[in-house]
Amino acid sequence: MNDSAFPRRFAVVGNPVKHSRSPAIHEQFGRQTGIRLHYGLLESPLDAFARSVSGFFAEGGRGLNVTVPFKEEAHALCGDNLSERARLAGAVNTLWMHEGRLRGCNTDGVGLLADIARQGVDAAGKRVLLIGAGGAAKGALLPLLEAGCEALRIVNRNAGRAQGLKIHLDTHMAGLAAKVSAGGLDQAQGEWDIVVNATSSSLAGQAPAISGVAYAPGGLAYDMMYGPRPTPFLLQAQAAGADRVADGLGMLVEQAAEAFFIWNGVRPDTAPVLAQLRAQMAGH
């Protein structure tokens, strides 16, 4: 079979997925790099994720992006066939087959760091507050620590989940974990250089229930969610004195670019794709 004669098949799997912008992003990457591809939407039943994944690859699919609520289940599905990023995150957002075996990686944190850099902020030496302890937060931990942040506090509505992430880091990354503290949302107080909302609160039209958060001069508030208008978290951050705010659209594009590179061996240019998405969201 001549591979070039047939579009390479990719998709995003989640529940729900109908509003995902991933197809538009990857199709632009394909045009940019000259790779023929088709990128679809795969809405998996909540109790049939493994079957959805195996069916996609059995039919010749080349790669899957994984979104809520399946990132941790995707990690379990890969067994030991995980990148270091995915192993330490405990969550997978990128799947592909290698030598007949399912492999998983986590590109969320790499995407986050790339977009934080785009805002003109270097995480090195910074005090970081990470709100949330789910799959999105897990993906961000290793890249933030490897970037050299000075301190990282994880807070979550369920304090036990945040503390569980701290224990996970103590087990796997003792050297870096010394910079990490964890607790409930009531332990978010302090002055921070970067505050990342890794919860889905903005999807519900709410800001996380944090108080006593102050932003250092030049401080950045980053919401992993995105929309045509500032999210509730970003409005909360501006009221608290954040000099810079950014939503997660850039992270979405950057993590997609990393997945595209894993699947195709080519690294696309993210800037024009992000600019086009921004224009579309603004209604232009």
Catalytic residue set: 71
From CA 223, how far away is CA 237, in angstroms rounded? 10
Locate the domains of the chain by residue range.
Answer: 3-106, 109-248
Summarised one tens digit per residue, pLDDT across range 227-265 is: 889 999 999 999 999 999 999 999 999 999 999 999 999
- 248 annotated to a ligand binding site: yes
Q: Using an 8 Å Cβ cutoff, are 277 and 283 in contact?
A: no
Whether domain 109-248 has CATH 3.40.50.720: yes
Give the pTM. Answer: 0.91
From CA 215, how far away is CA 192, in angstroms rounded? 5
From CA 195, how far away is CA 215, in angstroms rounded? 8
Query: For residue 90, what pLDDT band results from cuts at 50, 70 and 90?
Result: confident
Summarised one tens digit per residue, pLDDT across range 12-54 is: 999 999 989 999 999 999 999 999 999 999 999 999 999 999 9
- 30 annotated to a ligand binding site: no
Among 23-32, 168-177, 262-271, the range scoring the smallest mean pLDDT is: 168-177
- 255 annotated to a ligand binding site: yes
- 39 annotated to a ligand binding site: no
Residue 1 has pLDDT above 50, yes or no: no
Contacts of 214 (CB under 8 A, 6+ apart): 190, 191, 192, 240, 241
Q: State the chain's mean pLDDT as an integer.
A: 94
Q: Quote the pLDDT of residue 178.
A: 81
- 231 annotated to a ligand binding site: no
Contacts of 243 (CB under 8 A, 6+ apart): 215, 217, 218, 219, 220
From CA 55, how far away is CA 29, in angstroms rounded? 25
CATH architecture of structural domain 3-106: 3-Layer(aba) Sandwich (3.40)
CA distances to 78, 112, 136, 160 from 174, rounded to whole Å, are 25, 23, 21, 20
